[in-house]
Structure 1
Amino acid sequence: MALLEVLKSRLSRHKEKRKDIEILVNKSAASPNQKQQYVELKAKEDELENIIDIAEGLIESDDK
């Protein structure tokens, strides 16, 4: 359970960072490094969401 909270916290931090960079990308003011960081953060978010889904599924199956 604690690991799940850590994953959710990490996902939240990644989303906040991505939102900050997304503003620059949408204004076409982002550097190539910022654009790359945006893409990497989005990929990490997807991975974390998948891991959280798997963990929640495992927890639910253990409860049954």
Structure 2
Amino acid sequence: MHLVSDIAQEIEVAGEIFRFETGEMLHTENSYKYTIEGFQVLAVRAGFPARAQWVDDAALFSVHYLERA
């Protein structure tokens, strides 16, 4: 996802000033889609076994509780 500044502006985050020009784009995230099982395999390989997961009623997103192995 990208956000685009509508105006020239300055913002402060944690005491640091960031300047954005009109039309300047900020990349905020990448979204990747996995099945619950596929995500858990990746998590275990990274040393974070799954302890629980929650899925919304429409199965559009999930939240995972992982622990460090």
After TM superposition, the score normalised by the length of structure 1 is 0.21
Whichever of the two has the greater Rg, that structure is 2
Greater RCO (Cα-Cα under 8 Å, separation 6 or more): 1
Q: Which structure has the highest strand share of the two? A: 2
Tell me the TM-score normalized by structure 2.
0.20
Higher helix share: 1
